[in-house]
Structure 1
Amino acid sequence: MVSVLHSARQRVAHTGEALQGLKRLRELGLSDPSDPVGTVRLLRDARVFGPPATAIRRAARMFPDQPGLADERGELTYRQLEDQSNALARGLQRNGVKPGTVVGVLARDHRGLILTMAAVGKLGARLALMNTGFAKPQFAQVCERENVRVVLHDSEFLGLLDALPEDLPRILTWVDEGAEIPSGAKTLDELVESNAPTPLPAPKKPGGFIILTSGTTGLPKGAPRERTGPLSTVQMVDRIDFPQRGTMVIVSPIFHSTGFATWLTGCAFGNKVVTARRFDAERTLRLIAEHRADMLVAVPTMLHRMVELDKEIRQKYDTSSLKGIVLAGSALSPELSVRTAEVFGPVLYNLYGSTECAIASVARPEDLTIAPGTAGKAPLTCEVALFDDDGRRVLAKNVTGRVFIRSGSPFKGYTDGRMKEVIDGYMSSGDVGHFDDRGLLFIDGRDDDMIVSGGENVFPQEVENLLLERPDIFDAAVVGVDDVEYGKRLRAFIVPEPGVVLDGEEIKAHVKANLARYKVPRDVFFLEDLPRNATGKLLRRVLVEYEPPTA
Structure 2
Amino acid sequence: MDAGRQGEGAGMDTGAGAEIGFGAVAAAHPGRIALVEPDGTTLSYGELDARAGRLAHALAGLGLRPGDCVAAMLPNSRAFFELRLATGRSGLYFTPFSHHFTTAEVTHVVTDSEARVVVVDASLVEVAGPALDAAGIPAERRLVWGTRPPPPGWTDYEALLTTLPTTTPLPHPRAGGVMLYTSGTTGRPKAVRRALSDAPPGPSPYELDFMARVGVRAGAYTQLCAAPLYHAAPGLFANMAMQLGHTVVIAERPRTEEWLELIDRHRVDVLFAVPTVLHRALRLPAEVRGRYDVSSLSAVVHGAAPCPPEVKRRAIDWLGPVLYEFYAATEGGVSAADSADWLARPGTVGLPLASTEVRILDGDGRPVAAGETGGVYFRPAVPFAYHKDAQKTERSMRDGYFTAGDEGYVDEDGWLYLRDRRTDLIISGGVNVYPAEVEAVLIAHPDVADVAVVGLPDPEWGQRVAAVVQPEPGIRGDDAFADRLAAHCRGALAGFKVPRVIEFRERVPRSEAGKVLRREIRLDAAAGPTPGA
Q: TM-score w.r.t. structure 1 length?
A: 0.84
2:336 matched to which residue of 1? 362
1:221 to 190, 199, 211: 190
Give the Cα–Cα distance (whole angstroms) in 1 for the partners of residues 520 and 79 of structure 2: 33
Contact 1:124 1:203 in 2 (8 A): no
1:111 to 70, 74, 78: 78
Q: Would the alpha carbon gap of residues 362 and 316 (structure 1) be closer, same or farther in structure 2, given more than 3 Å must change?
A: same
1:511 to 475, 479, 489: 489
| SS at 2:110 equivalent | helix
Give the Cα–Cα distance (whole angstroms) in 1 for the partners of residues 153 and 131 of structure 2: 17
1:131 to 78, 84, 98: 98
Letter aligned with residue 334 of structure 2:
A
2:467 matched to which residue of 1? 492
5+ residue gaps, structure 1, are: 1-9, 33-37, 43-54
Deviation at 1:547, TM superposition (A): 8.8
1:349 to 324, 348, 355: 324
Deviation at 1:123, TM superposition (A): 3.5
Letter aligned with residue 211 of structure 1:
L
Contact 2:14 2:216 in 1 (8 A): no
Letter aligned with residue 126 of structure 2:
G
1:77 to 41, 44, 66: 44
Contact 1:404 1:427 in 2 (8 A): yes
Contact 1:335 1:372 in 2 (8 A): no
1:540 to 514, 518, 533: 518
1:406 matched to which residue of 2? 379
Letter aligned with residue 462 of structure 1:
E
RCO comparison, higher one (Cα < 8 Å, 6+): 2
Residue 185 of structure 2 corresponds to residue 208 of structure 1: no
Give the Cα–Cα distance (whole angstroms) in 2 for the partners of residues 122 and 301 of structure 1: 35
Give the Cα–Cα distance (whole angstroms) in 2 for the partners of residues 292 and 533 of structure 1: 29
5+ residue gaps, structure 2, are: 198-202, 528-533
Deviation at 1:127, TM superposition (A): 1.6
Q: Would the alpha carbon gap of residues 122 and 437 (structure 1) be closer, same or farther in structure 2, given more than 3 Å must change?
A: closer
1:313 matched to which residue of 2? 288
Aligned positions, number? 509
Give the Cα–Cα distance (whole angstroms) in 2 for the partners of residues 70 and 171 of structure 1: 23
Residue 161 of structure 2 corresponds to residue 192 of structure 1: yes
Name the structure where helix makes up a greater proportion of residues.
1
Letter aligned with residue 75 of structure 2:
R
Give the Cα–Cα distance (whole angstroms) in 1 for the partners of residues 205 and 170 of structure 2: 27
Q: Would the alpha carbon gap of residues 393 and 544 (structure 1) be closer, same or farther in structure 2, given more than 3 Å must change?
A: farther
Deviation at 1:78, TM superposition (A): 1.6
Deviation at 1:437, TM superposition (A): 6.0
| SS at 2:281 equivalent | helix
- 1:307-456 aligned at under 5 Å gives the runs 307-356=282-331, 358-397=332-371, 399-417=372-390, 418-419=392-393, 421-436=396-411, 439-456=414-431
Deviation at 1:478, TM superposition (A): 0.3
Deviations 1:300-358 (A, max 9, x none): 222222222222222222111111101111111112201212321221111111111x2
Contact 2:227 2:252 in 1 (8 A): no
Letter aligned with residue 27 of structure 2:
R
Q: Would the alpha carbon gap of residues 329 and 156 (structure 1) be closer, same or farther in structure 2, given more than 3 Å must change?
A: farther
Give the Cα–Cα distance (whole angstroms) in 2 for the partners of residues 165 and 324 of structure 1: 40
| SS at 2:214 equivalent | coil
Residue 449 of structure 2 corresponds to residue 470 of structure 1: no
| SS at 1:81 equivalent | helix
| SS at 1:193 equivalent | coil
Give the Cα–Cα distance (whole angstroms) in 1 for the partners of residues 269 and 45 of structure 2: 19
| SS at 1:514 equivalent | coil
1:93 matched to which residue of 2? 60
2:145 to 165, 168, 173: 173
2:456 matched to which residue of 1? 481
Q: TM-score w.r.t. structure 2 length?
A: 0.87
Deviations 1:260-282 (A, max 9, x none): 22223322321112111223222
